[in-house]
Amino acid sequence: MDRRDLLKASLALGLSTVAGRVWAAPRADVRLLVVFLRGAYDAANVVIPTGSELYYRARPRIAVARPDPASPEASLPLDADWSLHPALRDTLHPLFAAGQLAFVPFAGTDDATRSHFQTQDTIELGQTFGPGRDYRSGFMARLAAELTRTRPIAFTEQRPLIFQGTAAGGKPVPNVGVARTGKPILDERQSRLIAAMYEGSPLAPSVQEGFRVRGEVFEAISAHRDQADRGAVSSKGFALAAERIGRLMREQFTLGFVDVGGWDTHVGQGGAKGYLANQLTDLGQGLAAFVREIGPGWNDTVVVVLSEFGRTFRENGGGGTDHGYGSAYWILGGSVRGGRIAGPQKRLDEGALFEHRDLPVLTNYRALLAGLLQRLYGLDRASLGRIFPGAAPADLGLV
């Protein structure tokens, strides 16, 4: 029995029921980070269908070459039909080879509007697509309300829609930006004055909790910055933010969210090199920094990387891709059953494309995430129904 089987067995034996919910006692310290790639990344040039002839006909300028060990610009084989962008050679490909990263192609929503903002809202709300959605209730806030032993946070300047609502105990989920965190705008005296203004009001607990969390995060980041001044880790963009997130989730938080922008590649996207390749390099370095920083806790951590939708299967006249439909989700973690392409698949030819232009959606994101959360936390159907109303979980065996 290997380590993953032992983990699965301990999870199965450690379930206990409280107030109609199923809790996995040995998994009380499990960490979950959701990384949202805003702008709709081009999944077909990252998790590449190199077994498809149509891919190469549809992308004469931006396609990434089939695997070739002699070429540093060739894609990296994942299986007989799929390959990975070479920009992720040193960061994510080793995780895939170690069985700690799985890709789920043909994933997405039932929202086919191809609208950035609407589809981002659809994913963050986690509710049935259509009228009557509650914009005060994001699915990660509902998850935090079900998990009474977790500590959630959004690593963003503003509280995102995905964390709108309250966690366990009726508290709002705090948020703090970590990419450009410097000296707090308000000193301790000013913070006390503002807190006093809200004393006795319904907002008082939120104000006090916000100041407390920001103070904790600033202290943690300040201490780490002093240690990192020797230049051991890159300090730019997401790589720095992810390193800080790893430290904070290792020591304080167990449920997190961060978003990364810049994935709307209508013009000059590039193939093995270029704009998208540079974006992927930064993203891969950030995720690798997160893994290093979280250390042994990686065995109890899962990272989900997703985007609002994919992009057109055919390149456009500007050497880029336009708004599409189906995407590919990434599931990473020390105990993830990775090293594979998971979920339903189909061979990509003309007849397989959605509306003759996009990757289809074969795995609904709510079903995918519900199945993942069910396995990760041992949640019962009632809890899953509150997090993703009306969604049946799809168990892809990812953990």
pLDDT along the chain (399 residues), means of 10: 42 33 47 95 98 98 98 97 98 98 98 94 93 93 91 92 89 82 50 61 61 49 33 49 92 94 93 95 95 95 97 97 98 97 96 97 98 95 96 96
* Two tokens, residue 354: 């959605």
For 39, 174, 309, the CA distances from 116, given in Å and listed in that order, are 7, 25, 8
Find all residues with CB under 8 Å of 344, minimum gap 6, and list them: 106, 362, 363
Given this model, what pLDDT does residue 14 score? 35
> Reduced to 3 states, what is the DSSP secondary structure of residue 336?
coil
Q: Which of 321, 198, 337, 338 is nearest to 267 (CA)?
A: 321
Given this model, what pLDDT does residue 173 score? 92
Tell me the backbone φ, ψ of residue 18, rounded to 5 degrees: -135, 125
- Give the global pTM: 0.82
Distance CA 395, CA 298 (A): 22
Categorise residue 39: left if φ over 0, alpha if ψ from -120 to 50, beta otherwise.
Answer: left
Given this model, what pLDDT does residue 160 score? 94
> Reduced to 3 states, what is the DSSP secondary structure of residue 47?
strand
Given this model, what pLDDT does residue 44 score? 98
Angle between helices 116-125 and 139-146 (to 10 degrees): 10
Given this model, what pLDDT does residue 131 score? 84
